[in-house]
Structure 1
Amino acid sequence: MFSLLSRPVPQGTALSRDPFSLVDAMFNELASQRGSTSLVSRARIDVSERNGAYEVRAELPGVKKDDITIDIDGASVSISAKLSSQSERKEGERVLYSERSHESYARAFELPQAVDAQSAEAKFENGVLTLTLPKKDAPKSTRLAVR
Structure 2
Amino acid sequence: MATLLPFDPFREALSLRKAIDQLFEQSFVRTGWSLAGRQSPSALLDAYETEQGYRVRFLVPGVKPEDLDVSIQQNTLTVKGQLPAFVGSDEQVRWLAQEITPGHFERSIIFPKPIDADQVECTYEHGVLTLWLPIREESRPKHISVRSGSGQPLTVESSLAR
Q: Which runs of 5+ in 1 are unaligned?
A: 1-6, 140-147
Aligned to 1:24: 24
Relative contact order: is structure 1 or structure 2 higher (C-alpha 8 Å, sep ≥ 6)? 1
* Residues in 2 aligned to 1:26 and 1:117: alpha-carbon distance in whole angstroms: 42
Q: Is the 8 A contact 1:67 1:83 kept in 2?
A: no
- State the one-letter code of the partner of 2:15: S
**Shift in Å at residue 123 of structure 1?**
0.5
**Shift in Å at residue 116 of structure 1?**
1.4
* Residues in 1 aligned to 2:27 and 2:66: alpha-carbon distance in whole angstroms: 35
Q: Is the 8 A contact 1:55 1:131 kept in 2?
A: yes
Is 1:34 equivalent to 2:33 in the alignment? Answer: yes
Q: Is the 8 A contact 1:63 1:127 kept in 2?
A: yes
**Shift in Å at residue 119 of structure 1?**
1.6
Change over 3 Å in CA distance of 1:114–1:104 after alignment to 2: same
Aligned to 1:55: 55
Q: Which runs of 5+ in 2 are unaligned?
A: 1-6, 140-162
CA RMSD of the aligned region, Å? Answer: 3.2
Q: Is the 8 A contact 2:39 2:101 kept in 1?
A: no
* Local SS of the residue matching 1:55: strand
* Local SS of the residue matching 2:77: strand
- State the one-letter code of the partner of 2:124: F
- State the one-letter code of the partner of 2:71: D
* Local SS of the residue matching 1:17: helix
**Shift in Å at residue 133 of structure 1?**
1.0
**Shift in Å at residue 78 of structure 1?**
1.1
Q: Is the 8 A contact 1:62 1:127 kept in 2?
A: yes
Relative to the length of structure 1, the TM-score reads: 0.66
Aligned to 2:79: 79
Listed as ranges, the matches of 1:1-147 within 5 Å are 8-9=8-9, 11=11, 16-18=15-17, 20-27=20-27, 30-31=29-30, 34=33, 37-41=38-42, 43-50=43-50, 52-85=52-85, 87=87, 94-97=91-94, 99=98, 102-138=102-138
* Residues in 1 aligned to 2:92 and 2:71: alpha-carbon distance in whole angstroms: 38
Q: Is the 8 A contact 2:41 2:83 kept in 1?
A: no
Q: Is the 8 A contact 1:9 1:16 kept in 2?
A: no
Deviation sequence 1:57-103 (CA, Å, 0-9, x none): 111112111111112112111112112225568xxx85223546532
* Residues in 2 aligned to 1:72 and 1:10: alpha-carbon distance in whole angstroms: 54
- State the one-letter code of the partner of 2:48: S
Q: Once the two structures are aligned, what percentage of the paired residues are identical?
A: 24
- State the one-letter code of the partner of 1:95: Q
